[in-house]
Amino acid sequence: MKKISPKVEYIPPFCIENSAPATGVVIFGASGDLTKRKILPAIYQLQKQGLLNENFYILGCARTDIGDDSFRKIVSQAIDGNKKQAKDFCNHCFYISGQYDRPEFYQDIAKRILQLDSQYNIKCAHVFYLSVPPILFGTISDNLDNAGLAHCGSSPEETYPRIVIEKPFGRDIESAAKLDDALHRHFREKQIYRIDHYLGKETVQNILMFRFANAIFEPIWNRNYIDNVQITIAESLGIEHRAGYYDSAGALRDMFQNHIIQILSLVAMEPPAIFEANQIRDEKVKLIESIRPILPESIEKDFVRAQYSAGTIDDQNVPAYIDEEDVPNDSQTETFLAGKLMIDNWRWKDVPFYLRTGKRLAKRVSTVVITFKKVPHSMFASSGIDSPQPNVLTIRIQPQEGISLSFQAKRPGSKTCMGTIQMDFDYSTLFGVTPPEAYSRLLLDVMTGDQTLFARSDELAQAWKLVDPLLDTFRKGTCPLYHYHAGSQSFAQADQIFTDKSIGWCPL
Ligand code: BG6
């Protein structure tokens, strides 16, 4: 296939970015991996971009008994920045240790917050980031309330303090509802920020701009023109050192119920009237509600669950899932899940959405691939071209972020010589930068109070409701667990999902 890079007229962009107001960020689980890998570098990035208020502080809270100085060493290793700027950032970082279930810990935190607020001239603007296992969400929010930290004034419009939580948001509908109740005991929905980091990825946000800021795509974005949609999140990584969490989650809870369904809802939702958090989330909920319920009897036909066996990735031998550190050797957890969903509404009736996610596949690739219908009649049939290839629009979420559109064109030379050409927009070539880290976007939005990129409670409830029959069938063991070699592009059972055998998975 020929690739062309169109000449792009670069018209000065129209950008709006609000910088954060004076804020105190309190991180529970401050000595943990997520804090080091994602949260601290993301906040530092905001400072480098001038988006952080100079009145800000980070108060790390965890069980490990260290003080401000040792915490600052951890911060400095995590951010790895230029000396002066990094030192200045570290000076805004503080630490307090204690036991999460002890009220005294929260009294100490409250005292420290009071003192830091007066030092940095901050009023109410607190963000509590719960980077801890979900089992602690209820305990921490109860204790924050008891220590007088869960409220700031009594106005129902008040959005402070804000609480940020990471997935898993429950294991099924019931546990998700319990978790929600525990948070809602002390916080209103507008104070709760549930992170799905895929929503913070630049190219995922671009789905809305692409669809709703261009007049040419929306008219054909429906069953009349689209044949099928494929959403893939493939990883070459395994489970790293997270067997404890992953083995009880599997691909369904880890990726499908959240990231895949979120992307699907952005690709398929109706346009809201304005770009505003609740209007967008209302449309996403409506879309998830219109996905055809999964019937237990059709699961074996429409879904494939599988687990990786030993194989080779990038010339390295990698072990089978069951031989990974801390995974039980009889584990029945899926590391790959693919399925077909239908959406019962006017726009999408009869258009299959093929979804897949898996670990230890050949490559790390996340894409949305939209295949349009073939031309209704080929006037080139007499020249032997019965059925020109359909147009395909590929949204590359990662890596090589961008969008490409394939179409048929005449090739030079003979009178009828047709070939597929790909028009390509490559994010880093055009903008000369790699897309910013999702966590920086999301943390800035928490500080500025924009919930657009965060999952609302009813969205999650609908997503759990949708996947509940899968959870139930997997639990009962009535859906076969297949195996694929680590490093596979695909495998026979994954391909059988297509009823129309002329369609197949897009290559990774
Ligand atoms: C996380 C999952 O939500 O997303 C991980 O828990 C997965 O298992 C990760 O590896 C993938 O994220 P990314 O941004 O690397 O595609």
- Is 198 a residue whose pLDDT tops 70? yes
The finding on whether 196 has its CB within 6 A of some atom of ligand 1 is no
Mean pLDDT value of segment 276-289: 97
Q: How confident is the model at residue 381 (pLDDT cuts 50, 70, 90)?
A: confident
Which 3 state secondary structure label does DSSP give 310? coil
Q: What is the pLDDT of residues 230-274, one digit of tens each?
A: 999 999 999 988 999 999 999 999 999 999 999 999 999 999 999
Cα 57 to middle of ligand 1, angstroms = 28
DSSP assignment of 21-85 equals: PSEEEEEETTTSHHIIIIIHHHHHHHHHTT-S-SSEEEEEEESS---HHHHHHHHHHHH---HHH
Tell how far CA 169 is from the center of its chain.
13
The finding on whether 459 has its CB within 6 A of some atom of ligand 1 is no
Cα 14 to middle of ligand 1, angstroms = 31
Mean pLDDT value of segment 314-330: 96
The CB density around residue 25, as the number of other CB atoms within 10 Å, is 26
> Would you state the structure tokens that stand for residue 204, as one six-digit string?
């995922």
- Is 6 a residue whose pLDDT tops 60? no
Domains and CATH numbers, the chain: 23-195 (3.40.50.720), 199-495 (3.30.360.10)
- Is 444 a residue whose pLDDT tops 90? yes
Q: How confident is the model at residue 411 (pLDDT cuts 50, 70, 90)?
A: confident
For residue 365, what pLDDT is reported? Answer: 97
Q: What is the pLDDT of residues 111-163, one digit of tens each?
A: 999 999 999 999 999 999 999 998 999 999 999 999 999 988 777 778 999 99
Mean pLDDT value of segment 65-91: 91
| Catalytic positions, written as ranges | 259
**Measured distance CA(98)–CA(474) in Å, rounded:** 39
Q: Rounded to 5 degrees, what angle do the CA atoms 148, 150, 154 make?
A: 90
Length of the chain: 508
**What is the number of the ligand 1 atom nearest to the C-alpha of 398?**
16
Q: How confident is the model at residue 370 (pLDDT cuts 50, 70, 90)?
A: very high
**Measured distance CA(39)–CA(41) in Å, rounded:** 6
Strand partners, 195: 166
Using an 8 Å Cβ cutoff, are 423 and 6 in contact? yes
**Measured distance CA(215)–CA(226) in Å, rounded:** 17
Position 451, amino acid: Q
Average pLDDT, the chain: 93
pTM: 0.94
The finding on whether 302 has its CB within 6 A of some atom of ligand 1 is no
Which of 75-84, 222-231, 286-295, 459-468 is predicted with the least confidence, judged by mean pLDDT?
Answer: 75-84
Which 3 state secondary structure label does DSSP give 332? coil
Cα 196 to middle of ligand 1, angstroms = 10
> Would you state the structure tokens that stand for residue 493, as one six-digit string?
């059972």
The set of residues, in sequence order, having a beta carbon less than 8 Å from that of 105 and lying 6+ positions away, is 61, 96, 98, 99, 143
What dihedral angle (degrees, nearest 10) is formed by the CA atoms of 30, 34, 40, 46? -140
Q: What is the 3-state secondary structure (H, E, C) of 341-404?
A: ECECCCCCCCCCEEEEEECCECCCEEEEEEEECCCCCCCCHHHCCCCCCCCEEEEEEECCCEEE
**What is the number of the ligand 1 atom nearest to the C-alpha of 167?**
3
The finding on whether 254 has its CB within 6 A of some atom of ligand 1 is yes
Side-chain half-sphere exposure of 287, counting CA atoms within 13 A:
22
Task: Give the sign of the dihedral formed by CA 410, CA 414, CA 415, CA 417.
Answer: negative
> Would you state the structure tokens that stand for residue 11, as one six-digit string?
């018209």
- Ligand 1: residue whose CA is nearest its atom 2: 254
Cα 197 to middle of ligand 1, angstroms = 8
**What is the number of the ligand 1 atom nearest to the C-alpha of 366?**
16
Q: What is the pLDDT of residues 303-315, one digit of tens each?
A: 999 999 999 999 9
Cα 357 to middle of ligand 1, angstroms = 11
Candidate of 194, 198, 400, 508 to mutate for ligand 1, largest count of ligand atoms within 8 Å of Cβ: 198
The finding on whether 235 has its CB within 6 A of some atom of ligand 1 is yes
Strand partners, 62: 97
Which residue is listed with tokens 């069953």? Answer: 223
For residue 435, what pLDDT is reported? Answer: 84
**Cα-based distances in Å from 102 to 67, 97, 489:** 19, 11, 50
- Is 17 a residue whose pLDDT tops 90? no
